[in-house]
Chains A and B, each alone.
Chain A
Amino acid sequence: MEKWYLMTAAVLLGLTVRWTVSLNSYSGAGKPPMFGDYEAQRHWQEITYNLPIKQWYFNSSDNNLQYWGLDYPPLTAYHSFLCAYVAKFINPDWIALHTSRGYESQAHKLFMRATVLIADLLIYIPAVVLYCCCLKEISTKKKIASALCILLYPGLILIDYGHFQYNSVSLGFALWGVLGVSYDWDLLGSLAFCLAINYKQMELYHSLPFFCFLLGKCFKKGLKGKGLVLLIKLACTVVASFILCWLPFFTEREQTLQVLRRLFPVDRGLFEDKVANIWCSVSVFLKIRDILPHHIQIMTSFCFTFLSLLPACIKLTLHPSPKGFRFTLVSCALSFFLFSFQVHEKSILLVSLPVCLVLSEIPFMSTWFLLVSTFSMLPLLLKDELLMPSVVTVMAFFIACATSFSIFGKTSEEELQLKCFSTSVRKYFTCFTFLPRIIQHLFLTSVVTMILLTMMTVTLDPPQKLPDLFSVLVCFVSCLHFLFFLVYFNIIIMWDSKNGRSQKKIN
């Protein structure tokens, strides 16, 4: 690539922004007794280093599961273990059993931030760069532009480097999975994706498209010949990688069950805090959590999720294509986020990742979605005192997208990938030509709403009767957006395959 230096500049810029954001506060800084996710990660290092592996997921006098008990899959635990070794080398106080609880210092913060940066640098960033270099049918300049925009996506930066989590690891593995599967390295791809699931169980949001895409590939090759071989190979890879990750926990039945119970805490309720999904938004009018019994809640959320993602998944199985795969990843993750059980506000990052991947195809809508997704985490970011970096990174991201893709010129039906849809609607309503204009107006309204709501949340005090007024409003508005995007992405998926077929007919 003759412009490698611009790509290097993009990566360095992404890294600089990441590190400068990390100078800010983290979740639960100086807030005893529970602190926040930062303390959770530190606590996991303490637990994994000091306790034998058999006790990691069990409640004991040394491991109080009520205080940030380990509730992520084994790979996270191993990662914490690894970090703990380094921490022990630098300063044993950081991970001393019991006494290190709530440990905070500048040096420790530096260490924790560095672990995030290193993990990011090793897993997520190379995947992004490679993905953008492999993009087909676009100029080098656009490849670099999309790498820059993806690396500047504020949601991930703010959560990983501000709030404090290791999302870049699981998302990075998932991205390696996407890369592998899209370029016919199916076994490596599925291995990478298994690692992603074993790092964070929320990656299951992406599992159905992976499954359907690979299954579709097998069908395409013919289930009696090569397809079957591939299917068996894939199954072996998945099983083997899972066994490897879970090996220490397969020694006893009770171990495995306990880990699973920790990973899927079904008794924790339909949703927690304020999250921009359907259940939380409906609860504003109708207290579902109090009206419906627990098991019915689970059933309802399961049914809704399943039904909403069914069409896209069937389409993908029948017509597997890398493009369809990316869009199905978006719509499935979005369905999970909107309808499934026990969703966190941070899970929107799982939707954002595949949206980043289609940034060069539908720049306008992707940018819009990515802005909304960051906005939906506003209450969380404000709680962590990350207002300043949030505003700055969002603006930087917007400028980067607007300049490199000139998104405002790209709102025609074709560029929104809605051509086929509009054509088929026009068969019934001939005057259906106003779609691009409507979308432009919607965008402006939405941006103005988001800005106004942010300003209100920051400056005004909510009325005493409704202390959560603004955060509920933020979630509600974001939820409406997400519903709109769900419909949009499903339309693209449905009409895209039709397009492919009609083209074939013409050929």
Chain B
Amino acid sequence: MAALGIGTSGGNWFSALALGVTLLKCLLIPTYHSTDFEVHRNWLAITHSLPISQWYYEATSEWTLDYPPFFAWFEYALSHVAKYFDQEMLNVHNLNYSSSRTLLFQRFSVIFTDALFVYAVHECCKCIDGKKAGRELTEKPKFILSVLLLWNFGLLIVDHIHFQYNGFLSGLMLLSIARFFQKRHMEGAFLFAVLLHLKHIYLYVAPAYGVYLLRSYCFTANKPDGSIRWNSFSFVRLISLGLIVFLVSALSLGPFLALNQLPQVFSRLFPFKRGLCHAYWAPNFWALYSALDKVLSVVGLELKLLDPNKIPKASMTSGLVQQFQHTVLPSVTPLATFICTLIAMLPSVFCLWFKPQGPRGFLRCLILCALSSFMFGWHVHEKAILLAVLPMSLLSVGKAVDASIFLILTTTGHYSLFPLLFTAPELPIKILLMLLFTIYSISSLKTLFRKEKPLFNWMETFYLLGLGPLEVFCEFVFPFTSWNLKYPFIPLLLTSVYCAVGITYAWFKLYVSVLTDPPVGKTKKQ
């Protein structure tokens, strides 16, 4: 007690922030949880009660194991604690089981594993240069960054209300980024390899990792103008990197290779049978595309340019159908989305190769990769925006331009998470937390960059303020109108299209700022 007191009284604001948010997470325990809760309970049961050979074949529940092996092992480890809480939750046939002890265990497992995230944030704060340190604690970049990361709205509602384990996964990613900043490249590469085998969605940012390590770690020197010096290539570094990635992959996939189950594992990991858009459209390019298609088809029908009999019956906007076809515009295939994603990523990767700017450049490329895949990926979840929002926080406290992009991206990205929580008791929580985070992030970054030009122009301000009326319309006005029964999808459609505009804008602005940024050599001359 006394030690804690001395620790906190010594200005140890970081532990206070971390403890505070942990306590808030504990308060969120009785809130609504989604089917993901049952998903993870089922995985606990599968890994605990079945042999490894059955893990990727078991299909009693519809929520089959579709994460890579390390995550399965993670669930396996958790299940050995779970048995002291409630043995029943570890039964594969006990579908939708959620006793109060199960709830407590699952919620606390997320809260405890978040310790890794807290540590990662702590390490990230060390990488931020404190040159601009204000006189007061609340105006220091480190303080602002830790609030932005620790109290991130998206993580709070996705992990601690909706239920997922993004906290410690994001923690691993942030930690590997921090290791790059600290010039501990091998460690960073190792962490990322582990992360890939925990959740394969991080494959989207793998190009950034690969190119950066090759360009800035394997090549040990540059020419004076910043271009590559081919004879500085270090084979030792390349081989040791390869060895790390190989060993981690062998540890993860080896057992399944031995069991001759790799095809089955991969078919579980990459299910292309799902539709282009998730039940609720993630606010990306395809949402805009589908909305345009919808508008065109309505206009076409009005102008009698389309034959009503030829229009497919399954209306994609109903939000329930996962397989659908576009009416006017060409339908999109997985391959097309894959190519679009690749094309969108390429410039940023080229930029990382030809204009290396150290870890900061890497971070920008990583965010662009994450955003590009979010924009054009197949069956993207709205939650995937966190993949870009969290690393973007690191950039936001550095430069005013980045701060402005961060705020647009974060605010719209977070708002697009609102449909995840649709139950009445959670409505005040999501609005209050969103306001808390948004007001804090905008005001604190404005204070940090008050000497530079304003963060938003009038258009951006107008757009962000528009989110307020949109929320009021979608959740407070629309349910009481007569359209609610006839067109129940309108709020979701509006939300996803409106947010898609903001996220596309932020993606575009970030791309422009990366591509037009002068290379390191030139800035040094200035």
Contact = CB atoms under 8 A, between A and B. Distances in A.
A17 B23 CA distance: 10
B16 A17 contact: no
Contacts of A106: 425
A283 interface: no
A16 B436 contact: yes
A9 B436 contact: yes
A444 B424 CA distance: 43
Contacts of A3: 138
A13 B436 contact: yes
Contacts of B30: 20, 23-24
B29 interface: yes
A304 interface: no
B295 interface: no
Contacts of A110: 424-425
Interface in B1-50: 1-2, 4-6, 8-9, 11-13, 16, 19-20, 23-24, 26-31
B439 interface: yes
A392 interface: yes
B26 A5 contact: no
A466 to B, nearest CB: 29
Given A13-B436, A402-B5, A408-B6, A5 B23 contact: no
A15 B444 CA distance: 21
Contacts of B432: 12, 15-16, 19
B27 A402 contact: no
Contact of B27 (A6, A21, A407): A21
Interface string B412-445: 0000000000001100110011011001100110
Nearest to B436: A12
Nearest to A396: B23
Contacts of B6: 408
Contacts of B436: 9, 12-13, 16
A406 B8 CA distance: 7
Contacts of A141: 136, 138
Contacts of A12: 432-433, 435-436, 439
A94 to B, nearest CB: 15
Contacts of B424: 107, 110
B8 A402 contact: yes
Prevailing SS type, chain A contact patch: helix
B440 A399 contact: no
A399 B19 contact: yes
A372 to B, nearest CB: 15
A409 B9 contact: yes
A117 B31 CA distance: 18
Interface in A179-237: none
A5 B444 contact: yes
B24 A403 contact: no
B23 A392 contact: yes
Closest 4 CB pairs of A and B: A5-B443, A406-B9, A20-B27, A403-B16
Interface string A90-113: 000000000000000011001000
A444 B138 contact: no
A16 B2 CA distance: 29
B9 A402 contact: yes
A8 interface: yes
B2 A5 contact: no
B1 A20 contact: no
A329 B5 CA distance: 29
Contacts of A393: 23, 27
B7 to A, nearest CB: 9
Contact of A8 (B2, B29, B439): B439
A292 interface: no
Interface of B: 1-2, 4-6, 8-9, 11-13, 16, 19-20, 23-24, 26-31, 136, 138, 424-425, 428-429, 432-433, 435-436, 439-440, 443-444
A407 B428 contact: no
Given A9-B440, A117-B428, A396 B9 contact: no
Contact of B429 (A19, A389, A409): A19
A448 interface: yes
B202 to A, nearest CB: 31
A396 B1 contact: no
A82 interface: no
Q: Which of A9, A20, A117, A448 has the most CB of B within 10 A?
A: A20
A444 B27 contact: no
Interface string A419-457: 000000000000000000000000010011000000000
Contacts of A134: none
Interface in A120-141: 141
A179 B139 CA distance: 31
Interface string A1-43: 0010110110011011101110110000000000000000000
A235 B29 CA distance: 51
Contacts of B24: 16-17, 20, 396
A71 B30 CA distance: 33
Contacts of B443: 5
Contacts of B16: 399-400, 402-403
Interface string A341-355: 000000000000000
Most buried by B among A5, A117, A448: A5
Interface string A322-346: 0000000000000000000000000
Contacts of B19: 395, 399
B433 A399 contact: no
Contact of A392 (B12, B27, B428, B439): B27
Given A17-B24, A20-B31, A408-B9, 5 more contacts: A13-B436, A19-B432, A117-B428, A141-B138, A403-B12
Contacts of A448: 1
A67 B19 CA distance: 44
Contact of B5 (A24, A392, A407): A407
A3 B446 CA distance: 12
A110 B429 CA distance: 13
B47 to A, nearest CB: 28
A444 B1 CA distance: 8
B100 to A, nearest CB: 11
A3 B134 CA distance: 14
B480 to A, nearest CB: 12
Contacts of A408: 2, 5-6, 9
Given A8-B439, A12-B436, A408-B2, A395 B23 contact: yes
A299 interface: no
A399 B20 contact: yes
Nearest to B156: A16
B26 A392 contact: yes
Interface in A373-404: 388-389, 392-393, 395-396, 399-400, 402-403
B9 A444 contact: no
Contacts of A400: 16, 20
26 contacts: A5-B440, A9-B439, A13-B436, A15-B428, A16-B24, A16-B429, A17-B24, A19-B432, A20-B30, A21-B27, A106-B425, A141-B136, A141-B138, A388-B26, A389-B27, A392-B27, A393-B27, A395-B23, A396-B23, A399-B23, A402-B5, A403-B8, A403-B9, A403-B12, A406-B11, A409-B9
B2 A444 contact: yes
A330 B136 CA distance: 34
Contacts of A5: 439-440, 443-444
B5 to A, nearest CB: 4
Nearest to B1: A447
A7 to B, nearest CB: 10
Contacts of B28: 20
A190 B8 CA distance: 41
Given A6-B138, A19-B428, A388 B29 contact: yes
A117 B428 CA distance: 10
A399 B4 CA distance: 9
Contacts of A389: 27
Contacts of B433: 12, 16
Contacts of A396: 20, 23-24
Nearest to A16: B432
